[in-house]
Amino acid sequence: MSGLMPELVGYILRRLPISSVLASRCVCRAWKAAVDDPSFQSSYTDSARLFPENNYIQDSGGKMMCWEPRSDNAPDWLCAASQDNKHLVLARSTKVRKLYVGNPFFNRWEEVPYLEIWDVSRVFLLVTAGQQFKIVVWFWDGTIHTFSRGQTQWCQHMVAMSPLSPVLIQNKLACIDALYREFVQFDVASNTITIKDLNPFPAEVQSICLASWRGKLYMVWLFAKGPRFNTSMFTIQEVCAESGDPIAVVSTHVVQELHHFTFDGQADNYLNVCGYNKYKVVKLYPFSYDFATDSWADKIYSPPSAPLDVRLCK
């Protein structure tokens, strides 16, 4: 391949996933020069996925790559990717306690004030008007912290006392307050909060969570049934994204002889659930719901992830 014309080498490399492109730099000088060529780097793109809980990036070829910092001051954990601008990432350096917004592939970062973040599923990175970014973190204690480019410090907003995992829908964050059984929304643009009671709230409800798919919002209810409450029924109900009012039940699923369940996050069209025995000793029954096909399967397809555009040059 080293004897091919540089234009042809670039043509071939542009069709490779990013893991193969990076590996090709180590083959010979000609390939390294082709990858490092500014015209190639400015035109190369790849579709990847970021797995923030595992700090992995998966390229279009299915290759899983662990993120490693390039220096002691560089970010060592990728926390969230923007849904609006898919090459923008929020990252942190655990060694020097710093937060950054930027792109890991061309290693350009903008430092933002530090905030201790433990649960990356509660972090949202958005792009506002004029390609400005805004970070929203909804903590377990009910506080919402926001930071926009141009600010000097984080702003804090107090909302629900026991918020379950929030979801982003139509430029708003929505969640369920498990303590007061309320539907809570945070408008990202105006920093305003709306709260609505979930009435009537069925007494046999064991758990509840929210999910979103293709611009629609869903409530996932877990009901305890049977004389000894040894039967569990999952009900997925489409609700109004503005008010949380029910629209229609889209699916139900019955599970026997399991007493405890956890919602293990959403990965695109898959909602992952794990069932436990009475004492929560081991995971017994992992399963998932596919919004795309309206079907249930006895396995978890993928951990929560976000699409990420790979670019080598800004």
Residues 169-208: tens digit of each pLDDT: 888 999 988 778 889 999 998 999 999 888 777 777 878 8
Q: How far is CA 125 from the centre of its chain?
A: 10
Mean pLDDT across the chain:
84
Q: Where are the alpha helices (DSSP H) in the chain?
A: 6-13, 18-24, 29-36, 38-43
Q: Which of 190, 163, 187 has the alpha carbon at shortest distance from 175?
A: 163
SS3 292: coil
Cβ 16 vs Cβ 62: under 8 Å: no
DSSP state of 163: B
- Per-residue tokens: 231: 């039967």
The reported pLDDT for the residue numbered 307 is 86
The reported pLDDT for the residue numbered 113 is 94
CA distance linking residue 181 with residue 175, whole number of Å: 10
Angle, nearest 10°, between helix axes 29-36 and 6-13? 70
Q: Over 60: is that where the pLDDT of 75 sits? A: yes
Tell me the average pLDDT across 285-303. Answer: 85
Tell me the average pLDDT across 283-301. Answer: 83
Cβ 181 vs Cβ 197: under 8 Å: yes
CA distance linking residue 304 with residue 265, whole number of Å: 6
Q: Over 90: is that where the pLDDT of 247 sits? A: yes
Bridge partners, 177 (sequence order): 163, 182
Over its C-alpha atoms, the chain yields an Rg (Å, rounded) of 22
120 vs 46, residue with greater confidence: 46
Bridge partners, 235 (sequence order): 221, 252
